Amino acid sequence: MANLSGAVRTQRRSWLKPGTWHLRTRLVLVAMALLVAICAAIGLFSYASMDSFLTRQLDEQLTGAADRARDFGRPPPGASGYKPDPLEGRGQRVGTLAGRIQAGQVTAGFLASDATRKALSAADNQVLLDLRRDGVPVDRTLSTGAYRLVAAQTPYGDVMVTGLPLADKQSTLTSLVWTITIVSLGGLVLIGLAGTVLIRRTMKPLEQLSEVATQVSRLPLDAGEVALAVRVPPSNAHPGTEVGSVGHALNQMLDNVSNALEARQESEMKVRQFVADASHELRTPLTAIRGYTELMRMTEKFTPDGQRSLARVQSQSERMTALVEDLLLLARLDEGQPLKLSEVDLTQLVIETVSDEKVMAPDRAWHLDLPEEPVSVRGDASQLHQVLVNLLSNARKHTPPGTTVTTGVMRSADGSAVITVTDDGAGIPPEFVDKVFARFARADASRATPAQPPLAPASAAAKGSAAGGATAGTALRTADTQGEPGVASAEGTSGLGLSIVQSIVEAHGGTVEVTSRPGRTEFAVRLPMQGAAPAS
């Protein structure tokens, strides 16, 4: 729950940062914001124009009503104190307000909807009394509603107040506001939908460019034969447009990368073929050297120095033979030769291989960690045996006497078979961990123990991966580490042991990885169980 709430908070924070939004989202929002600004400007201008127009129109009507009220309310000649009611004049419409102010007294009323005269309240009369009498129309709110009022001095000494209701003007302006609002909202929805569709179509070529780049980024370009066939479609690679220029440049870059990969692949094939041919040709002279050495040992008499020299020649020829055989094996693995598949009992294979190592190195403590039920995989029995031999021999050759080496087999939760080889030696140097599976990789020779190849202390982790995933382990320093002539070379260390391990495991669709720290180094091989297809 804590992780979920943290993810939700992170997502909310990202939405608060416009820079993290998709480009099409920002474009749609910008278009809608522009439309809102345009609609607001048009609305304000329209409202102000309509208000000004209606005000002028109302003022014209108010002037006419005031003239009619003043003319009709003029006292007749010879009348003593009688003054007609201004509202009774012809042409006054419903709602018209008229009043007379004389000697501080207000006599006013308005025409009701039934054409009868209604008197104003005392508060309304006070509002009329407070008006400026300069003939300039003003807006005031009375108990009967809002009015446009004008007060002016008459020639006969009175002040005539005339007013027209503002209800029609306010109703018209309200209708205008609603109209502008509805039209603007409709325009926003239309622009949002149309803009989304148009921008999505416009951005489609960029998405295709991104898809091509993503596909290329997922290709394993570091090794092996790579088919870089993906390209930007011609419709999006025309230099005439901005997107087309990018697509054209991307295709040119992919062409150059493809040519470079083909050149690299051709070079690797030539090197592999050379190694295979050279290794094959070296077998005959090496066999002859060993044969003549044995013949001379049996038929000739040598001084003690001669005997040592002859033994040296024989040991070096044996070491060279082992190196040639390892190179031939790697060449076959690189060529992807088919495996001789059968059901292999890893548990029994581990028991037999560890038993052989006990005989060769009784000064190490060899332990087993095996499950109650056998663990089987479908693979090449001889090659899987080679994996175990290389891992255990490295543990033997690159750790001092008294080291505990534990070999285990188990089933993992994901259905893979896992072989582990662990030792409590000094460990592998951190800077060397990532190189243990490289061919002819060598640890710091200064860390070697007497009569042993270089040890490799320190903690770290390295990983050799393949199509399926996997892992093998042990306290090996690395079969790829070889000492000075006459030390580990006497045992035939070729410097290719872990490279062979990785190649065999990957050919079985598995992976091998190493983790190391002072006092514990583990190689782990992970192989698919029965039914899994080996890697091609």
CB 162 within 8 A of CB 69: yes
Segment holding 500, helix H or strand E: helix 497-507
Among the residues of 300-377, which ranges form H helices? 304-334, 346-360
DSSP string, 337-348: PPP-EEEEEHHH
pTM of the model: 0.50
The distance between the two most distant Cα atoms of the chain, rounded to a whole number of Å, is 174
Q: Give the separation between CA 287 and CA 29, rounded to whole angstroms.
A: 80
CA-to-CA dists, residue 474 to 201, 349, 366, 371, 406, angstroms: 56, 16, 12, 18, 8
Cβ pair 481, 398 in contact under 8 A: yes
What is the per-residue pLDDT for 346? 93
Residue 493 CA to residue 495 CA, distance in Å, equals: 6
Give how far Cα 336 sits from Cα of 21, 43, 534, Å: 47, 75, 11
The phi-psi region of residue 91 (left if phi > 0; otherwise alpha if psi is between -120 and 50; otherwise beta) is left
What DSSP state is assigned to residue 417? E
Domains within the chain, CATH numbers bracketed: 219-337 (1.10.287.130), 340-528 (3.30.565.10)
Instruction: Outline where 335-454 has alpha helix (H).
Output: 346-360, 381-397, 430-433
What is the reported pLDDT for 510? 92
pLDDT of residue 484: 32
Closest CA to 408 of 479, 346, 486, 487: 346
What lies within 8 Å, CB to CB, of 357 at 6+ separation is: 364, 366, 392, 393, 396, 405
Place of tokens 């190592």: 357
CA distance 126 to 133: 14
Check residue 481 and give its pLDDT. Answer: 36
Q: Which residues pair with 419 in a beta bridge?
A: 409, 525
Q: In a structure prediction context, what are the per-residue pLDDT tens digits for the chain, which is 536 residues long?
A: 445 455 445 555 555 666 677 777 888 888 889 989 999 999 999 999 999 999 999 999 988 888 887 777 676 665 555 567 777 767 678 888 888 888 777 777 787 777 778 888 888 888 888 888 888 999 999 988 899 999 888 877 788 888 899 999 999 999 999 999 999 999 889 988 888 888 888 878 888 888 888 888 887 776 656 677 888 888 888 887 888 888 889 888 988 888 888 887 777 777 777 777 777 777 788 888 888 888 888 888 888 888 888 888 888 888 788 778 777 777 777 777 788 889 999 999 999 999 999 998 999 999 999 998 899 999 999 899 999 999 998 888 888 899 999 999 999 888 899 999 999 988 888 888 888 888 777 664 433 443 333 333 333 333 333 333 333 333 333 333 333 333 333 444 566 888 889 889 988 899 999 998 888 899 999 999 864 445 44
